[in-house]
């Protein structure tokens, strides 16, 4: 997950992943130009976070809890 320190959507997504027992890694974009560049590549030039990458090569940007949970179920992660 690409995340930012003061990002409320990032905090919400982390909280959901934690509550579901999902293991994940965080790459902070704050002060990390390479991470921010990657986020912008994924998002067509936008700095939107969180960007959550999945084992199947897909991603979600700023997902709602409902969408994130549905994706996790689709991939049989939960």
* Residuewise pLDDT in 10s, the chain (78 residues): 999 999 999 999 999 999 999 999 999 999 999 999 999 999 999 999 999 999 999 999 999 999 999 999 999 999
Cα(26)–Cα(29) distance, integer angstroms: 9
Cα(21)–Cα(37) distance, integer angstroms: 29
Beta bridge partners of 61: 51
**Structural domains of the chain, count:** 1
Supply the pTM of this predicted model.
0.94
CATH code for the domain in which residue 23 is found: 3.40.30.10
Beta bridge partners of 53: 59
Q: What per-residue confidence (pLDDT) applies to 75?
A: 98
Domain that holds residue 66: 2-74
**Which of 16-40 are b and which e, b meaning 16 or more Cβ less than 10 Å from the residue's Cβ?**
bbeeeeeeeeebbbeeeeebbebbe
């Amino acid at each position: 997950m690409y995340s930012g320190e003061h990002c409320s959507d990032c905090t919400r997504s982390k909280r959901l992943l934690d509550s579901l027992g999902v293991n994940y890694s965080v790459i902070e974009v704050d002060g990390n130009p390479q991470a921010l560049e990657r986020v912008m590549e994924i998002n067509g030039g936008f700095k939107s976070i969180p960007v959550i990458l999945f084992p199947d090569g897909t991603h979600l940007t700023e997902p709602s809890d409902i969408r994130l949970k549905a994706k996790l179920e689709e991939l049989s992660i939960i």
